[in-house]
Structure 1
């Protein structure tokens, strides 16, 4: 993807090594121009005002004005797509930044070697090209509305504690990419712990960040949320999150459904793979299945949607208006197999309506 109009990028990072590494990668992308850099948040704010970049890469831990304050000010005064550059140790901070309006994140270079440069290049290039033209109006609206909408959803979702036993196991599988972490949190935080549904999530994310993602979801949700490990049991009221860089699939052991964490197949670009999780869920048999496709780049999930429908499952996709990137839902909808297309704030209630019918 080469943009007709050059993408002008500002690099904000107090590490000289990181600035050089990121700039070197970005300047190799056709149609991309690094128009400046800043060594702290204070300088970054001045450069944003002066240069008006199309996209910013942002370190969170900086002197004077940190990344969170920088994010808040930019989102209020000059909303601009921001990709956070973060280490694994800062996982919790990454998800806070995404809630504040950052579009996506990439792993920070951790060693002064060309190997590290190559390790982050593909991820950074792909996300820059997709995120640079993000509709920031959507990001701002989602950020402002997030806390209020979760409270409102919880107030209207049906109570589940008095429901009768439900025949076959009921499994909800959720796939997301760019813009996904706040979207997944929006849905799961609106569902009560006594719901007789099992949940699994494949969110495109590098290795080392999904444990912090699961821990953050667990903090804000009544449901039990865990990073999946091989052998974990799928249980009502529990959410298993696929580990970054791997795939989450399922197997049966007697009457139980167990998680299995496996290495990616050859040529798989998007990990954890939504298609792999959806397809495996469809192969379980004797399961009432709902697939949910949320915001994200690419077509991951489309083939899995077909598999879910082949076994009588149901599929919900996020609509274009609420998506940060309308790639994955668009491809899912194009299969002709999606049952409902809804704004993000309506998906939690629809999952329960269909799952408890």
Structure 2
């Protein structure tokens, strides 16, 4: 049974282009199109698609307002199309807060080296989110007051996400995972928290990081697959919502407790020095590495610098980035946690870690922040 897609865009050319690409895949079928957000709401109710692709800027009603209304009336996985600009980044993050699951740049050449790669990427993204149900319970409120925290400047992040095979679509509905107690504290000594994620990561990171206290006793590094032009907006948003400070990592940053450092897009983030006085090295990304930044590379560098005194958490994402880095950390005695399948947008990266036998815990997203605080507090 094919995955049924509703394509929403005010440009008839773009609607036709996206429809042609999706219809090339025998697992995908474009069942209808809409020219604005209001039409999208109505057709989502009538057609009941498995996935909706949505533009942001449209007449009558914009895509963000449409996503918010659709999530209330007929929750459906939504893939946003956005521009790789600062304003585009702000709007895309707003759309993710409203309930969208993922996004792609509207200019496919910005994310692919060839036409064939762009076609495959779009098809795979649609199939990846089609099987997931919108997880409304884990989404933080988009409006929050700025808590008191140490000031940090915000400055870039990003990368291309990988591809993975996906099963057929499941009916879309909001889901609330069963609440259970966080894992018992291990008593292990820590010096670093490292979090890697991809598809669905912006919302997941926001959920986890907003639960960390201002006096969190360790530095935090974040590796999120996201275009570099989005970094300033994403870091600023996290910094305004979190009690900890959040900034984009810069070469030479000294790691400080209670501060999170976001890996810059198109580059790799590593460590140098010794624990307690370590600094970040930001290096140009190698074209032979699919992910820039790459979770495996940062995790491997953490294993070399911090040994086993690391809690590494792998959140929602496509592909298997993070598995090999987690393997190196595990060999040093580090603890590895993975987000559970039920609360992932795409259960790819956490599944790779869990299947390899590396994860000591598989936790639902709403519990991860609390569990981190419980495990890593002095």
TM over 0.5: yes
Q: Distance in 2 between matches of 1:123 and 1:135?
A: 21
Partner of 2:32: 36
Q: 1:19 to 1:229 in 2, by over 3 A?
A: farther
> How far apart are 1:338 and its partner, in Å?
1.8
CA contact (8 A) 1:171 1:287 kept: no
Partner of 1:96: 94
> How far apart are 1:147 and its partner, in Å?
4.2
Higher relative contact order (CA 8 A, sep 6+): 2
Q: Aligned to 2:314, which of 287, 293, 296?
A: 293
> How far apart are 1:57 and its partner, in Å?
0.7
Q: 1:12 to 1:196 in 2, by over 3 A?
A: same
CA contact (8 A) 2:308 2:332 kept: no
Q: Aligned to 2:241, which of 189, 199, 220?
A: 220
Structure 1: gaps (5+ residues): 152-167
Q: 1:333 to 1:100 in 2, by over 3 A?
A: same
Instruction: Give the RMSD, CA atoms, in angstroms.
Output: 2.9
Q: Distance in 2 between matches of 1:92 and 1:211?
A: 9
Aligned residues: 332
Q: What TM-score do the two structures reach when normalised by structure 2?
A: 0.79
Q: Distance in 1 between matches of 2:91 and 2:114?
A: 22
4+ aligned runs moved over 6 Å, structure 1: none
Q: Aligned to 2:2, which of 6, 9, 14?
A: 6
Partner of 1:304: 325
CA contact (8 A) 1:299 1:331 kept: yes
Partner of 1:64: 60
CA contact (8 A) 1:106 1:120 kept: no
Q: Deviation per CA, 1:222-276: give whole Å up to 9, x if none.
A: 2111112222222112111112233222222896322223344455334422111
Partner of 1:107: 105
Matches within 5 A, 1:73-222: 73-89=69-85, 90-109=88-107, 120-136=118-134, 139-143=135-139, 146-147=140-141, 170-222=191-243
CA contact (8 A) 2:190 2:311 kept: no
Q: 1:309 to 1:193 in 2, by over 3 A?
A: same
1:55 paired to 2:65: no
Partner of 1:234: 255
